[in-house]
Amino acid sequence: MNAVTLFGLCGAALVGIGLYGLITNPEPLRKILAFNLLGSGVFLLFGMIARRAAAGLGGDPVPQAMVITAIVVAFAATAMAIALVQRLADETGRASIRSDSSGAVDGEGKS
């Protein structure tokens, strides 16, 4: 097993764990962390694909530049998402999106 295959398997595992966490966790902060894990796996897979495609040619700088740009954008999106969760916690007193029965509309059409 060479390094490219190992990085590919690790990237696929990160994508799988991140996708599982994104689907199963109801808390917004855990969803953000799972989405970051999924993104890191995708970045690792892109790097692996770029390295495999350029085997023997020294590597193509364009996929590497795209991955670096994507990492910066993911960092900014994570910072904004965490700020939104913090704002949600400040406004509602809880950092959860689950609906409570106290503020729900009853079955008779009254709100």
> What pLDDT is attached to residue 104?
45
Rounded to whole angstroms, the Cα distance separating 81 from 39 reads 15
pTM of the model: 0.73
Average pLDDT on 61-73 reads 87
Q: Output 20 or 3, whichever has higher pLDDT.
A: 20
Q: Output 7 or 50, whichever has higher pLDDT.
A: 7
| Measured CA distances, 78 to 32, 74, 75, 81, 110 (Å) | 7, 6, 5, 5, 39
Rounded to whole angstroms, the Cα distance separating 59 from 65 reads 12
Exposed/middle/buried for 17, CB within 10 Å: 0-12, 13-18, 19+? middle
Instruction: List phi, psi (to 5°) of 108.
Output: -95, 5
